[in-house]
Amino acid sequence: MTVALITGANSGIGRASAVYLARQGLEVYGSVRSLDKAAKLQAMAGEAGVEVKVIEMDVVSDDSVRAGIDQVISAAGQLDVLVNNAGIGGNGVTEFSTIDSYQEVMDVNVYGAIRCIQAVLPGMREHGSGHIVNITSIAGVIAAIAQAPYALSKRAAEAMSESLAQEVAPFGIRVSIIEPGITKSAIFAKNTEAPGQDAYPDHLRWMFQFYANGIPQATPAEEVGRVIHHAITTDEPMLRYAVGDDAHAIVAGHAAMTDEQWVALGMAGSDEEYYAGFEHHFGLDIRPPS
């Protein structure tokens, strides 16, 4: 049986993906920072008639990660799939986002994933197989406006994943990058602050409007789990998988843009000019309801 560990399994994408993979017959472990945060995960697993084994692990702690990975391997005898999902948001323009805010987001979203990767790779290399799945975001693809800490972390995770994929390929280990668009998750309710309101009101308003428009039609979190399962079982693997109609539109639109067009989008002189430009490049109408 394939053994998988999903970090940040207490909510959103992590919780839904853990249950989805368990329904597909995998032996699934879900990590949470504190066991008292696992009640909803256990309830959802129970409703689905599956088991997700919960471990306590904090990805910002070297010792906690090592202990968590050791616990999984000791209990299951192996670890075949690592899904680095644990993450936090980070709004704000570059000028006004504090260094502390950058460090906090990077420590979870990038260094946390690296800690887990470093803990599992010796065993995977020894067995000559394994799969590492890194959950990034379309915010890393387009370096989303007014989300400097978050976009930085997700772009860094993409770069790390590209490098890792080449490094581990000779050992029979695969890497997948999952790029969700706006997905049903509690992360949005936790990220309502955005430094730089006085100096950059337009840019922050456009960023919030993008999410306000997308949240009502957000992709179900279970869809990310479905894509993860496809990535780890397909005979025709790809490095990147966008998830959600908005993600596919943004990935395609960004690939077709020049750098100069990207910069020009930020110079829009009005809300309508920005929304029209966004729709032109990405095919998404993010205007507020009239």
Helix (H) or strand (E) holding 178: strand 173-180
In 3D space, the residue among 28, 109, 39 whose CA is nearest the CA of residue 72 turns out to be 28
131-135, 139-143, 166-170, 270-274: range with lowest mean pLDDT: 139-143
Label residue 62 by pLDDT band (50, 70, 90): very high
User: Over 60: is that where the pLDDT of 188 sits?
Assistant: no
Distance, in Å, from the CA atom of 88 to the CA atom of 242, rounded to the nearest integer, reads 19
Q: What local confidence, expressed as pLDDT, does residue 105 receive? A: 98
The model's pLDDT over 200-252, given as tens digits with 9 standing for 90+, comes to 999 999 999 999 999 998 999 999 999 999 999 999 999 999 999 999 999 99
**Is residue 187 scored above 80 in pLDDT?**
no
For domain 3-196+218-246, give the fold. Rossmann fold (3.40.50)
CB-based burial of residue 12 (10 Å sphere; 0-12 exposed, 13-18 middle, 19+ buried)? buried
User: pLDDT (tens digit, 9 = 90+) per residue, 97-138?
Assistant: 999 999 999 999 999 999 999 999 999 999 999 999 999 999
Mean pLDDT for the chain overall: 95
Q: List, for residues 9-33, the tens digit of each pLDDT value.
A: 999 999 999 999 999 999 999 999 9
Provide the 3-class DSSP secondary structure of residue 51: coil
Contact 189, 140 (CB under 8 A): no
Of the pLDDT bands very low, low, confident and very high (cuts 50, 70, 90), residue 81 is very high
Give the pLDDT confidence score for residue 90 in this predicted structure.
94
Residue 190 confidence class, pLDDT cut points 50, 70, 90:
low
Cα 184 from Cα 14, distance rounded (Å)? 11
Share of the chain above pLDDT 90, in %: 92
pLDDT at 184: 87
SS3 call for 61: coil
Q: Which of 18-22, 140-144, 183-187 has the highest mean pLDDT?
A: 18-22
Domain ranges (residues) in the chain: 3-196+218-246
DSSP string, 84-128: E-------B-TTTS-HHHHHHHHIIIIIHHHHHHHHHHHHHHHHT
| Enzyme catalytic residues | 150
